[in-house]
């Protein structure tokens, strides 16, 4: 039976990777937020499945935190932010989408090769998903550095945190609850601070393009 659960977790990991690629190639902010919400839902189901298979009860709380924070609360905050800021729907990229996707494929290949020796030593039921977790982190980082707007970069940062959380679940069956609660609180407080930061940028430059921040060096 655990074999089937392992296959199901692998399927969820593959969906997580596909969502990471979809976010990397997405040009619309609203769709990007929805993809982030879907990624959080996959992470929640994956964590709950690992909790059921392994009997690690604290992972149920991790799944609940993920559901509340990344599927409900953070997408709601992001939706309100883009409405209040009147953000344009289209996302400007520093590198064209086809080139970005090719770089993403290279990063996925690198991630699987990097995780291979670690996965062979791991004894967890999710050891095969470690490469996907690393790939999700690197793809989110790539999304951050190829976007010129502040909001997509923040979503990329949140997606990178999703990949790190999935990696922790894959390698060690999660982190201590106090650490997870601390991280959740940090992410939530960070979103509030970034929301204030967005409004300040908007008021100062009438745009959320971070390239305008270079003007501050000249002032």
**How many C-beta atoms surround the C-beta of residue 216 within 10 A?**
9
What pLDDT score was predicted for residue 20? 92
What pLDDT score was predicted for residue 145? 84
Residue 122 has phi, psi (to 5 degrees) of -75, 145
What pLDDT score was predicted for residue 204? 53
β-sheet bridge partners, residue 28: 90
Question: What is the band of 121 on the pLDDT scale with cuts at 50, 70, 90?
Answer: low
User: How far is it, in rounded angstroms, from Cα 125 to Cα 122?
Assistant: 9
pLDDT tens per residue, range 194-211: 655 555 555 554 554 544
What pLDDT score was predicted for residue 178? 45
| Greater pLDDT, 23 or 178 | 23
What pLDDT score was predicted for residue 219? 47
Asked whether residue 42 carries a pLDDT value surpassing 80, the answer given is: yes
Asked whether residue 114 carries a pLDDT value surpassing 70, the answer given is: yes
Asked whether residue 126 carries a pLDDT value surpassing 60, the answer given is: no
| pTM for this entry | 0.78
Domain boundaries, given as residue ranges, for the chain: 2-218
pLDDT tens per residue, range 144-196: 888 877 778 788 888 888 888 887 776 666 555 445 555 555 566 566 656 55
């Amino acid at each position: 039976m655990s074999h089937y659960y392992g296959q199901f977790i692998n399927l969820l990991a593959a969906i997580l990777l596909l969502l990471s690629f979809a976010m990397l190639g997405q040009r619309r902010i609203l769709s990007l937020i929805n993809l982030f919400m879907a990624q959080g839902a996959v992470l929640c189901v994956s964590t709950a499945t690992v909790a059921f298979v392994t009997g690690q009860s604290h992972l149920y709380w991790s799944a609940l935190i993920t559901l509340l924070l990344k599927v409900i609360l953070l997408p709601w905050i992001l939706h309100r932010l883009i409405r209040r800021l009147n953000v344009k729907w289209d996302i400007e990229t520093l590198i064209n989408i086809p080139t970005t996707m090719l770089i993403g494929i290279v990063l996925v290949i690198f991630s699987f090769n990097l995780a291979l020796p670690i996965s062979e030593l791991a004894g967890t039921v999710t050891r095969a998903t470690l490469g996907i977790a690393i790939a999700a982190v690197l793809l989110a980082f790539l999304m951050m550095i190829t976007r010129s707007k502040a909001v997509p970069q923040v979503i990329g940062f949140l997606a990178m945190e999703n990949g790190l959380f999935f990696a922790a679940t894959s390698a060690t069956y999660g982190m201590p609850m106090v650490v997870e609660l601390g991280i959740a609180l940090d992410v939530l407080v960070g979103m509030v601070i970034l929301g204030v930061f967005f409004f300040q940028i908007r008021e100062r430059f009438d745009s959320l393009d971070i390239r305008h921040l270079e003007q501050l060096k000249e002032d």
